[in-house]
Structures are given as C-alpha cells and as structure tokens.
Amino acid sequence: MTEPTFATLVSRWYEENARDLPWREPGVGAWAILVSEVMLQQTPVVRVLPAWRAWLDRWPDPAALAADPPAEAIRMWGRLGYPRRAVRLRDCAVAIVERHGGAVPDKLDQLLALPGVGTYTARAVAAFAYGQRHPVVDTNVRRVVSRAVAGESDAGLATRPADLVACEELLPLEPAAAALASAAFMELGAVVCTARSPRCPACPVESVCAWRASGQEAPAGPTRRPQRYAGTDRQVRGLLLGVLRETTGPVPHQRLDQVWSDDVQRARALAGLVTDGLVEPVGEAAFRLVGDGPATPLPRP
C-alpha cells in the first residue's frame, strides 16, 4: 500500500481540525474571499472577523464598493490597521468593474494585474475561490515547508521564488486537492507549527518532519523585531485619521492640531497621509478623507 503523501496527511488533519471561519464556508464567493485575504494581511483573525462581516454587509460585491468614494472605504476600515489597504481594495473593486464586468477574475494573470493584488493574494483567490492549483505561500506556509522539508527552524523574512517552487512540489496534481492542501498548509502553520511554540505532538507530519528529526529547537525570540507603536508617526497618523473618519467633509487645521502636541511630527504624519492617498487638503485651512465631498474650502479661521 502506498504511503500517504505530505499533502494528504496535512489535508486530512485540516478537514478534521480547521478553524470554523466564515470565508471558508461552502458557497462563499470570490469577492468575499478577496476581501478576507486583504484584511488578514498583518492583522489577526479575531480583529478581521467583525470588520469582514460589516464590509460585506455594506458592499456585497465590487460594484457596490466602486460606486462609493474612497473616503467611505477608509471610514469603514476603522482601526483595522494599515488603512492604505482600504484604498487599494476600493481601487481593486473599480478595476474589477471596469475590466471584468464586476466579477472577480479567475485567471492568475488577471488577478495579478488588479491594483493592490500581489503574488500571495492573487494565488490565494485563485486557489480558495476557484479551486485552482497554485502555491499559496505566506509566512505560515513558508515555515511549515522550511521545517518539514528543508529541516530549517526559520524560513526567513520574505517569500522567495524558491519558496513557491518548494510549495508547488508538495501539491497534488488534481486542482481541487491542491487547493485544499494549500489551505491546510496555511492552517497548520497558523495553529500548530507556530514560530516559537510549535505543538509538534499534534502535528500530522511529525513523523516525516526533517526539522523534528534534526533535534533543533524553535527560535527563542521573534523572527522579526516587533514594531514600536507608542509615540511613532504611525500612532499620530492613526489619531489624525480617527478625527477625519468621524467627520464628513473638511476638518479645520486647528482641530487636527489638537491631536498631537509635537508640531513637526504631526505635520510629517499628515503629509504622509496625503502622500499615501488617504487624505487631501481643502484650500489652505483644512483636510478631509480623500474624495469626501465637494471641494469647497472652509473659511480660514
């Protein structure tokens, strides 16, 4: 009898142990999956769940989002973090409407051509929404493959072409089975083969794991240094956006001045928001979320 493959072992485990997440439910469309993949970038599942539901309640398809100004996408994004993703997702919706009649395309090259859709997201949508055979490689998948196949405790900080090749070699040839395996690899890395506290006895491929056989230990510290938040420009940007999200239309400069006492840092953070296409000046005395209402400047105080 043929021994089950690596992908088969992980897929069987996944079918019995996968977290119950709404974007994995049968019948969930490509738009909902695309939204989930964008939101999940650098953001924990627990924070994404309510935001994902609220987003799809308001914009159940790309055409609905494309019809609203980018300011509404930024406002709806709330404090999910990295708000440029909201603008990119709205730009993506516009492109889907203009190029594909409002339907998320199913071809990888067309997905890659959408604004804000990169190597990972395009392959994730192709695999999870359309059941295609593509290596879907995120941090979790790289760690699983690096440990189980290459015997290395850490996969490094960035995805390389070699990571895509290594993952693809593990996928079954049949597209639906490959898509299932891609989801399974990701889930295994997220909940079992974690960076610092792997639960090896619960792993379905412990017996064939090269890293486990080598006897190496998991890294004692994080693979990358956590970014400081308090007192950074990122914090100031968030505070400024918070005021702008709560107001429709222009916000006087004087009100924004109250957000942060350091004039230089506040001005730098505000300029960064403008550069990133999240905020736009209205005359010389006010700012607003990009596209938020008619361009009528407020009177100077």
Q: What's phi and psi for 193, nearest 5 deg?
A: -85, 60
Give the per-residue SS3 of the chain: CCCCCHHHHHHHHHHHHCCCCHHHCCCCCHHHHHHHHHHCCCCCHHHHHHHHHHHHHHCCCHHHHHCCCHHHHHHHHCCCCCCHHHHHHHHHHHHHHHHHCCCCCCCHHHHHCCCCCCHHHHHHHHHHCCCCCCCCCCHHHHHHHHHHHHCCCCCCCCCCHHHHHHHHHHCCCCHHHHHHHHHHHHHHHHHCCCCCCCCHHHCCCHHHCHHHHHCCCCCCCCCCCCCCCCCCHHHHHHHHHHHHHCCCCCEEHHHHHCCCCCHHHHHHHHHHHHHCCCEEEECCCEEEECCCCCCCCCCCC
Out of 3, 37, 72, 174, pick the active-site residue. 37
Beta carbons within 8 Å of 246's beta carbon, 6+ residues apart? none
Check if 37 is active-site: yes
**Catalytic residue IDs:** 37
